[in-house]
Every structure is written in C-alpha cells, then in structure tokens.
Amino acid sequence: MSFLKRLFGGGAGTSEAGEGKPMGDAVEHKGFMIQPTPFSEGGQFQTCAVIWKEVDGVRREHRLVRADRFPSADLAAEQAIRKGRQVIDEQGDQIFG
C-alpha cells in the first residue's frame, strides 16, 4: 500500500505545487512580482513561483511550476525567477487568462 501512496502522491517525500515556502524577497519585472517558492521533491528542489500583479485593485495570481529540479533551494529559486521573467515576457497579462 505504501508504494501506491507514493506513486499517487500520498507518501512522504512528495509535495504538491504551491506547498513551497516563499524564499527571499519577491522580484519585480515589468509591473509583475515574482515570488520563488521552491519545494522539496524526491530529495531535490523543484522550480516553483507565484507571479502576481494588481489589476484594478485586485491581486491576480499565477502559479508557475516547472519540472526542473536542483540540488538546493537557492538554485531552484534562481531558476524560478528566470522562468518567471520569461513567462511574463512571452505572455504578459495573458498569464491570468
């Protein structure tokens, strides 16, 4: 049974997107904020961030999760910022749509 739990996300050592804790200060890029939130997955840290922007007084958010994994949370956070900038450059406000 424990094998099936791990396989389908119920075992120890797994984490769902967004469970990562904010790491460092949020970074501004073209009016958007990028907050790295890497999380531990399989002994490594997975690239994850929250991108947000105030639109008409309402905070709009997008969770960015990539399959990239790194040996440290710092490296995963750096990659999350790079990927966040790339997504903002490519999609702009469409990221919330």
Q: What's the pLDDT tens digit per position in 69-79?
A: 999 999 999 99
Write out pLDDT tens, residues 21-60: 899 899 999 999 999 999 999 999 999 999 999 999 999 9
What pLDDT does residue 19 have? 64
Which amino acid is residue 6, in one-letter code?
A: R
Give which of 89, 59, 42 is closest to 50, Cα–Cα: 59
Residue 55: φ, ψ to 5°: -125, 115
Q: Which residues pair with 62 in a beta bridge?
A: 51
pTM, rounded to two decimals: 0.79
| CATH 3.30.160.350 for the 15-96 domain, yes or no | yes
* CA separation, residue 77 to residues 15, 16, 46, 67 (Å): 16, 16, 9, 13
Q: Where are the domains of the chain?
A: 15-96
**What Rg value do the Cα atoms of the chain yield, rounded?**
15
Question: Residues 68-90: what's their mean pLDDT?
Answer: 97
Q: Highest mean pLDDT: which of 1-5, 17-21, 74-78?
A: 74-78
